Amino acid sequence: MPGKKLSVVVTRRLPDVVETRLSELFNVTLRDEDTPMSRDALVAAMQTADVLVPTITDKIDAALLAQAGERLKLIANYGAGVDNIDVATARQRGILVTNTPGVVTEDTADMTMALILGVTRRFVEGMRVAQSGDWGGWAPTAMMGGRIGGRRLGILGMGRIGQAVARRARAFGMQIHYHNRKRLRSEIETELDATYWESLDQMVARVDILSINCPHTPSTFHLMNARRLKLMKPSAVIVNTSRGEVIDENALTRMLRAGEIAGAGLDVFERGHEINPRLKELPNAILLPHMGSATVEGRIEMGEKVLINIKTFADGHRPPDLVVPGVF
């Protein structure tokens, strides 16, 4: 669409520098409030805009796409995951979908390691003791956690983030094991000193720490269900910085309460921000509000990718981060 200044609607507040650049390049409609758009507001935006810039909090399903106007030709998602968008339906209607891959890799891997350390070394419990006013001082047997060096780390999903986690974990002296839809090339396995498990059941039964790093798809929904969670060692820890829907949260909560799993570090939850109240009560669970990619640098880089995708599209070329249905 060369020569035309596109109409762009952004569904959430973005970093100031990103909003400023969008305003310079396009006829952009920005939000004053940092809250998710209502469904009616999304419909209105999709009926008037050339480009929609949604986030993971916006559910762009087939019913919504059916109400899109003829002008809408690009959905430039602000985020790497696109499970919030019916990509196949969008393409059928002639609407391209882009995302922002690769930007959150290092930040999410950092958060994964922070959660692994936080759970195994009992950070939250220690903070509560220190801040309670009842701490009596150091004692030889107080607040003992576990050493992560030498432990087996199982990585479920060995894409960019899974591999970044593996590199960090190796530096801590951990043994790397992984399960993935496709086995990695031998040279990558050698670089990471990683052991591949074709059977997820067999891997989860043997690892000390399990890190969830796979996307949410129909095939990964409740991949860690009650049966599979029961295969884990009672001393094992599970960490999730990917998508909450991969774990059966109710089953995990029951097992944490019963001591059948030692601990959990969760940055994502099955029902978004609606966390199981019983999970919130547990001392052996660290719960974070989806902070895995929340760095200033990362969020600005995400915005830059959105800008490049829209600008490339506006110039009449294929956006660099075009999502192909069934491939993401």
CATH number among 3.40.50.720, 3.30.470.20, 3.40.50.300, 3.40.50.150, domain 105-287: 3.40.50.720
% of the chain exceeding 90 in pLDDT: 92
- Enumerate the domain spans of the chain: 7-103+295-314, 105-287
Tokens for 19, please give them. Answer: 């909003």
pLDDT digits (tens, 9 = 90+) for 77-90: 999 889 899 999 99
pLDDT digits (tens, 9 = 90+) for 233-279: 999 999 999 999 999 999 999 999 999 999 999 999 999 999 999 99
Distance separating the N- and C-terminal Cα atoms of the chain: 26
The Cα–Cα gap between 2 and 311 comes to: 10
Look up the CATH number of domain 7-103+295-314.
3.40.50.720
Domains 7-103+295-314 and 105-287 share a fold: yes
Span 293-310, mean pLDDT?
Answer: 96
Helix or strand (DSSP H, E) at 109: helix 105-120
Residue 323, pLDDT above cutoff 80: yes
Q: What phi and psi, each to the nearest 5 degrees, are found at residue 314?
A: -60, -30
The rounded mean pLDDT for the chain is: 95
Span 52-79, mean pLDDT?
Answer: 96
pTM of the model: 0.89
Helices and strands per DSSP (H, E), number in the chain: 13, 12
3-state SS, residue 181:
coil
Specify the long-range contacts of residues 276-281, CB closer than 8 Å, at least 24 apart: 276/249, 276/250, 278/253, 279/249, 279/252, 279/253
Strand partners, 287: 266
